[in-house]
Structure 1
Amino acid sequence: MQNIIEFALEIDKLKQVTRKTRVLNSERYENSAEHSWQIALLAASLQSYAAEPVDINQVVMMLLVHDIGEIETGDTIVYAESGWEERKAHELACVTRIFGMLAPEQGARFLDLWKEFEAGETAEARFANAADRAMPVLLNLANHGQSWLENGIRHEQVVKRIAPPIREGCPALWEYLEGRLLDAKAKGWLG
């Protein structure tokens, strides 16, 4: 029991990791714990639109653990173009340490979920990655391009980074977003 409690308190630190997108109708930026919760529910809601049948419990669990490495690395905007290998190595070390706080079987299960998400090779991982890439876009669209404008993000950057994983994991979601991104560009929310 003590190990589980220590683990739960350790992952509370994810609430302190500030992301680049504001929550709706607020000047406050979201944190990584909120992001993980929201995309888990987004994925659960979109299950019928997945490119392939998925085990939604596997997807939700993947989304709940996928950003735990940010406890040590912080959040990096998805449109960053360098440093990903070093960052992912650091995240792996972090999640290995944190999941190692649990009983070996449980810790290994969470680590396997994290690795599955990162590899993106299963239907569940592809669908989870689609939800992960989509939610910041949905928030930016609802916030009139807030994060894109603050960080000088261009339409081409967004499409290059998010279109492939969303198309692969949830094609209907990409169809929904594609036209809205063109509208956002026309409104000046993207360079």
Structure 2
Amino acid sequence: MSADGGRPQIGLDRLKGILDFIQAAEGLKDTLRSGTTSRGRRESTAEHTWRLCLMVMMFGRELSGCDQHRLLKLCIVHDLGEAISGDVPAIHQGLDDGRAARERADLSALCAPLPADLSAEILDLWDEYSAAASPEAIFAKGFDKLETMLQHTIGDNPAGFDYDFNLTYGLQHTDRHPLLREIRSLVDEATRKRAEDQGPPGS
């Protein structure tokens, strides 16, 4: 028992394994995505994940029948494997090139230092997110697409940015719940406004 009143002390090997994993996951801070911030800097996957979690938190009152703690876990885990192999731009994600298997293998490698129970939990969460069958995974997938689209509406994007792609991106996931559809309608409206402000390609 610990000296603070009853909780068992964490074993040294477990402690070191968790810290090694946390240090390896730091690579997500330097994993850059194709999207840009409002000031024109490329965003990192870690920044995307942070804002995805913030979105989920802000809509907490509307997520009835959903385990919000598990939902946040899914959001935190969903792109962790990118700390090893990097991000695949949204425009290339429809290709059936074995990406999902590579991402899971990368995540498994990232989790190698962890105690077996924590490694299994993270991989189970990733599998749940990938399958997008549970209520929590449906929301995680939908909000993930919406965060990406929102970034495109505010980013200092290059000339000729393809806003039409934004209007079709992730429809199969954002159409799975009324709340996601309602948010999507506002994001699509903002996308069309950005496209109009940009003018035709090459202008």
Alignment match of 1:33 (pick from 26, 46, 50): 46
The match for 1:22 is: 36
> Offset of 1:190 from its aligned partner?
8.0
Alignment match of 1:168 (pick from 166, 171, 176): 176
Alpha-carbon displacement from aligned partner over 1:99-132 (angstroms, at most 9, x marks no partner): 2321111111111111111111111111111111
Equivalent pairs counted in the alignment come to 185
Give runs of aligned pairs for residues 15-94 of structure 1, distance below 5 A. 15-24=29-38, 26-50=39-63, 53-80=65-92, 83-94=95-106
The match for 1:117 is: 129
Structure 1 regions of 5+ residues with no counterpart? Answer: none
**1-structure distance, mates of 2:34, 2:61:** 29
Which of the pair has more CA radius of gyration? 2
> Offset of 1:82 from its aligned partner?
5.1
* Corresponding letter in the other structure for 2:173: P
CA 1:28–1:178 in 2, change beyond 3 Å: closer, same or farther? closer
Alpha-carbon displacement from aligned partner over 1:6-38 (angstroms, at most 9, x marks no partner): 0010101111101112223x2321111111111
> Offset of 1:75 from its aligned partner?
0.9
CA 1:162–1:83 in 2, change beyond 3 Å: closer, same or farther? closer
**2-structure distance, mates of 1:184, 1:76:** 24
- Pair 1:153 & 2:162 matched: yes
Identity of aligned residues (%): 21
The match for 1:137 is: 149
Which stretch shifts more, 169-178 or 30-39? Answer: 169-178
The match for 1:97 is: 109
